[in-house]
Amino acid sequence: MCGILAHCLFDKAAQIDEAILRSMADTMVHRGPDDAGYWVRGRIGLAHRRLSIIDLSAAGRQPMENEDGTVRLTFNGEIYNFAELRRELEGRGHRFKSSSDSEVILHGYEEWGGPGCLSKLRGMFAFVIWDDRRQALFAARDRLGIKPLYYRNDGSSLIIASELKAILKHPEVQPAVDTTGLLQHFGFRFTLPPRTAFEGISKLAAGHSLSYRDDRVTVEEYWRPPGAEALEGPERSLDEWSEALRAKLSETVEGHLISDVPVGAFLSGGLDSGSLVALASEFSDQPMQTYTAGFGSGWHDESSEAKEVAAMHATDHHETQIQPSTPALLEKMIWHLEEPLINTSSIPLYAVSELASRDVKVVLAGDGSDEVNGGYQKFGRIDQLLRWRSFRDAVPGLDGLANFASGLLPTTNTGNRIKRLNQITQGPDGAYAAFSSSAFSGSGAQDTSQSLFAPEIASQFGGMTSEYEAALLDDYRELSSAKQRFFLYDMRGWMANELLIRADKITMAHSLEARVPFLDHELVELCLSMPPELKVTQDTTKAILRKAMQSSLPSGTTARKQHGFVVPIHEWIRGNWRERIEDLSRDTRCRTRGIFNAARMDTMIDDHMRGKADWTAPIFGFLLTELWHQTFIDS
């Protein structure tokens, strides 16, 4: 895992300023504390911050060149099938200088071209290649979006980097708010690519590549989760599917253990991380290092369950207890997250990443399993919503009555949930954004968000759902299974643009590489071919995975409902965050920047602090957004 940077000037006679290139790369030292490399030739500059994982020698340094020095690479990630690709490329006459997985991308580009090389890679990656002979640049982000990649094209130059702050460091880049991007963080909890929260800086979408040649920048999709035709798997029983899943997951975990440094694992006590620990333990003669974060007590604490899994597989288990977070920690997290990603689970993830980084450079993580295996309880409610939709269709006038009654409800958490439910049942696909982020979780509710923002900003919420549909939903409307459609919507939206970006940045804040075996693209394609009705029922989630792992985990682990990290934010807002929140709301910068409705914000904060209402989600969103403004915009 590393930090990568490329800067290309469109003027062929121009010269890259290496001092500026180095200062930009140095903003990502946490991504690569082991080494730094730079290469400048006229109008092109590449930089690399290295976290040494495979081939720890100097031969693995980047930017890396091919045999004659005409092609250069800066790469972040891991290629798990690199040994197989290396043998194939050596058979075609390519000479390797290192034992690094990075070098197969370099020679693969030479042999198969950019798109052809991408089709061969199995792993997580973001990389930039400069082809000196063609005076062309080629960049790509992995299929599922495990590794982030950002770019800025101002018409005279192109900057590409692993992190936004590297681009912002350039003296000609002035940070400004993309208002629509900011609203999307509140409405969807992420931005739709290519948008970010910064005006003029774009995010390369998962499964996309970027090419530059002759002053033209082109972005193309090279992979997407398979459509209707490819999703029709063979007819199998639950037992047969569970056997197939276990075999493929076991193969994937083995591949994800390839490393020249020790590999540990996050262990929450749930099914996903427990499955990875169970399978990984089969491939190691030494006790695996496992890490968990607990809260000491409460239903949201899974530390005792994690210990049970650790004991079953004889791991060397480590635990940290989450203490009430401080505003200073939030400011540090915002610096690493770079956008106001409104998710409370960042706090325990930050703590457990810090713990793991004391011992290891690499951990396995269960991210992505909920999306590909049907882990969210909301998926089990889809059939209920469709039945209610059929009932509404059958009763004349019921739509109008429901809409009228919904309009009379107050803007409260309960009122917003009912409004979202009403919107969803008018058309599950068209209201997916509301279903995903608001109806059952209460977080990011658009009605609450609209009242939180200044009127001229709030008025932009109206077109957000249609933009969401065009970006994520239209490609899969032909699928007959509503559950399957919603699995895919979550993968392309929430997972690729929030979950994985947040996981990458929080772990890399501690120079820790997180590997996610559940998102191996071959495993994903297998899971998407499974009947969704077998994965999820009204009462059970991840049924196939539970069956596959029941012999390797405690019975309580395979039976327990998933709930993830649950953080007592509502208590912290009334506790040690209170003073900071109230200070921010009174700050002249906040009240005059024209983003928030100051009077409404004052009322929400006052009502929450006095216990008259629970405005945890919008206040937490306000807190992170204002800290983000002060960190990246005001400064």
**Mean pLDDT of the chain, nearest integer:** 88
Cα four-point dihedral sign 233, 235, 240, 241: positive
What digits encode the pLDDT tens for the residues 6-42?
Answer: 999 999 999 999 999 999 999 999 999 999 999 999 9
Statement: residue 626 has pLDDT above 50: yes
What pLDDT was estimated at residue 408? 55
What digits encode the pLDDT tens for the residues 537-570?
Answer: 878 899 999 999 999 999 989 887 766 566 888 8
CB neighbours of 600 closer than 8 A, spacing ≥ 6? Answer: 451, 452
What pLDDT was estimated at residue 440? 32
Active site residue 8: no
DSSP E strands, 165-233: 202-203, 208-213, 216-221
Statement: residue 51 has pLDDT above 50: yes
Distance of CA 628 to the CA centre of its chain: 19
Q: Do residues 272 and 304 make contact, with C-beta atoms less than 8 angstroms apart? A: no
Separation between Cα atoms, residue 306 and residue 270, nearest integer Å: 7
**Domains along the chain with CATH numbers:** 2-221 (3.60.20.10), 254-375+493-559 (3.40.50.620), 377-487 (no CATH), 569-633 (no CATH)
Separation between Cα atoms, residue 223 and residue 208, nearest integer Å: 7
pTM for this model (two decimals): 0.92
What average pLDDT does this structure show over 138-156?
98
What digits encode the pLDDT tens for the residues 341-397?
Answer: 988 899 999 999 999 999 999 999 999 999 999 998 777 777 666 666 666 666 666
Statement: residue 442 has pLDDT above 50: no
What average pLDDT does this structure show over 411-440?
50
What pLDDT was estimated at residue 489? 83
Percent of the chain predicted with pLDDT > 90: 68
What digits encode the pLDDT tens for the residues 292-316?
Answer: 998 765 556 778 899 999 999 999 9
Q: Do residues 32 and 44 make contact, with C-beta atoms less than 8 angstroms apart? A: no
Q: Do residues 458 and 451 make contact, with C-beta atoms less than 8 angstroms apart? A: yes
For residue 142, which of 170, 112, 117 has the smallest C-alpha distance?
117
What pLDDT was estimated at residue 358? 97
Q: Do residues 150 and 202 make contact, with C-beta atoms less than 8 angstroms apart? A: yes
Element (H, E) at 100: none
| Amino acid occupying residue 263 | V
What average pLDDT does this structure show over 502-519?
98
What pLDDT was estimated at residue 33? 97
Alpha-carbon separation of residue 180 from 278, 416, 438, 600 (angstroms): 44, 22, 19, 20
Cα four-point dihedral sign 332, 496, 203, 63: positive
What digits encode the pLDDT tens for the residues 568-611?
Answer: 888 899 999 999 999 999 999 999 999 999 999 999 999 999 99
Active-site residue identified among 2, 8, 117, 590: 2
Would you place residue 425 in the very low, low, confident or very high pLDDT band (cuts 50, 70, 90)? low
- Exposed / middle / buried, residue 13 (Cβ in 10 Å: 0-12, 13-18, 19+): exposed
Would you place residue 241 in the very low, low, confident or very high pLDDT band (cuts 50, 70, 90)? very high
The string of DSSP letters for 378-447 reads GGGGHHHHHHHHHHHHHSTTHHHHHHHHHHTS-SSHHHHHHHHHHHHTT-TTTTHHHIIIIITT-TT-HH
